[in-house]
Structure 1
Amino acid sequence: MLTPKQIFVVGLNDFNRARLEQLPGAKDCEFHGVIPPADVYDTEVFDIADMLSRAGDELDAFDGPIDAIIGYMDFPVSTMLPILCRRFGTRTTSLESLLKCEHKFWSRLVQRQVIPDAIPAFTAIDPFDDQALDVIRSAGLYFPFFLKPIKSSGSRLGFRIDSPEDFTHAIERLREDIGLIATPFNTVLEHALLPPEIAAVEGHFCMAEEIIGGWQCTVEGYVFEGEVVSYGIVDSLRYPQVLSFFHYRYPSQLPAEVQAQMKDLTERVMTHIGYDNAAFNIEYFWDEVQNRVWLLEINTRISQSHCDIFEKVDGISNQQVSLDLGLGRRPAMPYRQGEFPIAALFFYRVFFVDARVTQVPSEEELAALKAEFPGTLITLQVAPGQQLSSMPEQDAYSFALACIWMGGQSAEELLSNYESLSSRLNFAFEDVVG
């Protein structure tokens, strides 16, 4: 009988444990959580030094081999993994190569060395510098531009700046809240060997970038023993006139030649970075008018939002990639062996300034909807009594109340089914007083 592989997952919750245990490659694996999921899901306060200490104690106390340490989340999990893997001798990419993806200024500098035509004009600024707008102008950036933290999570604290008033508002928000990301990110930076020009641009800095846009999508991939593999492209569609995501759709409907160009850019930049033995996803824009591809940002993980849609279309969740890489195996992702030819994750949103939730759909209502639309998954993101502004990981314009995964025979059928389902989600709210 084979000895089970012992897999440790940072921030493992019950939903993802069930997904991992169902993977074909998990038959010889036992999964253990490291750091409670609430510490990385349900808060915006990340004491990474404490989490690394606790994770180290948990792993030291384990009486047996530690075969892999993996994760499926963005910050802070993604940045903790190289530190933990280095300490316990398991496989992943180096911390420095990961930071060349996640430290936005360092990442743009590295990208400019190999794919200069695919990146926008950019500069780093200190939001606590009263002359920050002059620094941006001296870099050749003018309204409109985009402003975001040097390390962000999701779309948090990202702003489109169209005027001096927008800039003033964004700077006020950044000065108030950027420490929630900057302080723990600086803890990670202390573990890395940084060039002086990067060490000077620490976690409290921001990035100003030229506005880029077009058809947005995400290339999911991995590097195994130096070989860059892009195994799927997912379209990211937004609500009209706003930055908030409406749904992710797989497979991509982009022209084949555009998809091929994105895969070529991906191979060039990830090879140059030296990223290895780990998963990634890269967000791109295709400007159809100029027929130009822009690289938006690199994420050092699979996208857990895409797990179900890969399973629906290809037959296996892309969590198989993280598991295989953690164990030193070449990932085994099937192709178009799922139940549906197309699938999507929809974000059911409200565009409020704030409110308190008074009602959410009942279990019976959700069960009826899932029975009517086979293959559908619905996860609520709020509970009665919750104030919307208390939700973590939200963009600056809306609140996502539910995530809805659906499969279909066509993009048109997906949208029609979602519209029918979403019209029957019974949420209710009251104004926040005071």
Structure 2
Amino acid sequence: MSVKKHIFVVGLNEFNLHRLKQLRGVETCEFHGVIDPAAVYETEVFDIDSMLKEATAHLEAHEGNIDAIVGYMDFPVSTMLPILCERFGTRTTSLESLLKCEHKYWSRTVQREVIPDFIPAFTAFDPFDDDALVKISDAGLYFPFFIKPIKSSGSRLGFRIDSPEDFYQAIERLRAEIGLIADPFNTVLEQARLPPDIAAVDGHFCMAEEIIGGWQCTVEGYVFDGEVVSYGIVDSLRYPHVLSFFHYRYPSGLPDPIQRKMTELTATVMQHIGYDNAAFNVEYFWDEVQDRIWLLEINTRISQSHCDLFAKVDGASHQQVTVDLALGKRPDMPHRQGRYPMAAKFFYRVFFTDAVVARVPDADEIAALENEFPGTVIDLQVTEGQRLSELPEQDSYSYALAYIWMGAQDETALLANYERLAEQLSFAFDDIIS
């Protein structure tokens, strides 16, 4: 008789529990939630100390083995995992190696040591320093450039800066809002052994970087006992003329030599960082005009957005990777065994400054659409009466009303099906500020 494995998932919700139960080899696994999912999904206020104490108490109260502690979310979950795993003797990468990915300034300095030709010019700056713009210029960065916090989530508080006016408008928002992530991130930094030059750049700092762009994609991978494995590349396609994502598409349409080079760069940088026994993804741009690859950023988790894409195309959500690694096993990830040759996650958005949601599609309407387009999953992100500006984890230019996962035989069919579906989604708004 097989011994049951107890796997604890930080922020586990029903949507992802359903996914986890469909993985290969989990018949003898029991999944337990740690921390209410609303505490990590539905707020931007994170008391890391309290969350760690709550998680620790929950785990200590468990009668039986603690075989794995996992998560599939960005901050704060990703940064809590190494701390919890060290306390309870389960497998994941070290806190320092994780921070070499998540602390954007530390990450760039480490990348520069091994792949300097594939990263943009950069400098850290203090947004509360009135001379910050002068210091950015002194560091050799001139308009246009991009700024973002040294720890952020998604595209939040990221701005393209084309003029001093743009900079000071962005600084006003950064000063008002950066503490939401900076304060809890500093709590994590206090538990790590940081070099002095990195310790001086805490969570309230920002990054200024040379503008990079092109065809954006994400290399999904993992490290198992020191071996770096990349198992899929997902394209990230934006709405025309804005920074907001339109859809993620798998498999990638990038030329094979570009995909191979990205895989090679990924192995080089992840080995140099010392990342081990955990999943990751690395975002890149391919500037087709210059035929140049840029590393955008490293994330210390699978992309939750890509789970259904891998299930549709390869035959299993890549949560398979997270669970297998946490149990000390080489991931049992299938390849091209899914129902569809191509899949995408679409972001159904509005480009308002603000509004109040007056109507959303009801359950019957959603079920009818999912039935009309087999394999489709629609996940609404708003409720009636909700003010859009109160939604967490949005970019600086739009609001995502729904996530829609679809599979198809090819790109043409995929886009055509989405357009037909989107036309039938019925939302209404009051108090629109355009």
Name 1:130's counterpart in structure 2. Answer: 130
Deviation, 1:28, is 1.2
Report what 1:281 is aligned to.
281
Deviation sequence 1:297-325 (CA, Å, 0-9, x none): 00000001000010000000000000000
Counterpart CA distance in 2 for 1:87 and 1:196 is 26
Q: What letter is aligned with 1:63?
A: E
Residue aligning to 1:299: 299
- Aligned-partner Cα distance in 2 for 1:364–1:301: 34
Task: Within 5 Å, give how 1:23-422 maps onto structure 2.
Answer: 23-422=23-422
Q: Report the 3-state secondary structure (helix = DSSP H, G, I; strand = E; otherwise coil) of the residue aligned with 2:25.
A: helix
**Aligned AA for 2:149?**
P
Number of aligned residue pairs: give it: 433
Partner residue, 1:10: 10
1:315-338 Cα offsets, whole Å, 9 max, x none, are 000000000000000001111000
Distance 1:87 1:259 in 2: 38
Post-superposition offset of 1:362: 1.4
CA distance in 1, matches of 2:236, 2:432: 32
1:10-47 Cα offsets, whole Å, 9 max, x none, are: 00000001110111121110000001000000000000
* In 2: Cα distance, 1:417 partner to 1:263 partner: 32
**Secondary structure class of the residue paired with 1:64:** coil
Q: Which runs of 5+ in 2 are unaligned?
A: none
356-365 vs 67-76, which moves further: 356-365
Partners of 2:251 and 2:324 in 1: CA distance:
23
Q: Does the Cα contact within 8 Å between 1:155 and 1:396 map onto a contact in 2? A: yes
Q: Distance in 2 between matches of 1:319 and 1:10?
A: 14
- Cα distance in 1 between the residues matched to 2:97 and 2:14: 31
Q: Which SS does the other structure have where 1:24 is aligned?
A: coil
Q: Quote the Cα distance in structure 1 between the aligned partners of 2:28 and 2:156.
A: 38
Maintained 8 Å contact 2:68/2:327: yes
Partner SS for 2:113? helix
How far apart, in 2, do the equivalents of 1:25 and 1:116 lie?
A: 41
Render the CA deviation track for 1:168-204: whole Å, top value 9, x for unaligned: 0000000000000000000000110000000000000
Question: What secondary structure is seen at the aligned counterpart in 2 of 1:355?
Answer: strand
Provide the C-alpha distance between the structure 2 equivalents of 1:237 and 1:157, rounded to a whole number of angstroms: 20
Paired AA for residue 383 in structure 2: A
- The whole-number CA distance in structure 1 between the counterparts of 2:280 and 2:25 is 19
Residues 121-149 of structure 1: CA distance to partner in whole angstroms, max 9, x if unpaired? 00000000000001110111011100000
Paired residue type of 2:361 = P
Cα offset, 1:403, TM superposition: 0.2
Question: SS at the partner of 1:284?
Answer: strand
Shift in Å, 1:432: 5.9
What is the SS of the residue equivalent to 1:25?
coil
User: Which amino acid in structure 2 is aligned with residue 297 of structure 1?
Assistant: E
Cα distance in 1 for partners of 2:211, 2:173 equals 20
Q: Is the 8 A contact 2:219 2:232 kept in 1?
A: yes
Contact 2:183 2:203 in 1 (8 A): yes
The offset of 1:364, in angstroms, is: 1.3
SS in 2 for 1:315: coil
- Give yes or no for contact 1:91–1:325 (8 Å, CA) kept in 2: yes
TM-score normalised by length of structure 1: 0.99
Shift of 1:88: 0.3
Deviation at residue 367 of structure 1 after TM alignment? 1.2
Letter in 1 for 2:297: E
Letter in structure 2 aligned against 1:47: D
Structure 1, gaps ≥5 residues long: none
Task: Return 19-28 or 296-305, whichever deviates more.
Answer: 19-28
Aligned mates of 1:49, 1:158 — CA distance in 2: 27
What is the SS of the residue equivalent to 1:397?
A: coil
Cα drift, residue 106 of structure 1? 0.2
User: Residues of 2 paired with 1:150 and 1:325: CA distance?
Assistant: 28
**Counterpart Cα distance in 1 of 2:368 and 2:21:** 27
Structure 1 stretch displaced more, 244-253 or 366-375: 366-375
CA distance in 2, matches of 1:367, 1:185: 40
Q: What is the identity, as a one-letter code, of the residue corresponding to 2:83?
A: I
What TM-score comes out, normalization by structure 2 length?
A: 0.99
Partner letter of residue 418 of structure 1?
Y
Q: Residues 318-375 of structure 1, C-alpha deviation per residue, up to 9 Å, x if partnerless?
A: 0000000000000011110000000000000000000000000111111111111100
| Cα distance in 1, alignment partners of residues 173 and 116 from structure 2 | 31
Provide the aligned C-alpha RMSD in A.
Answer: 0.7
In the alignment, is the contact (CA less than 8 A) between 2:24 and 2:332 conserved in 1?
no
Instruction: Tell me the SS of whatever aligns to 2:354.
Output: coil
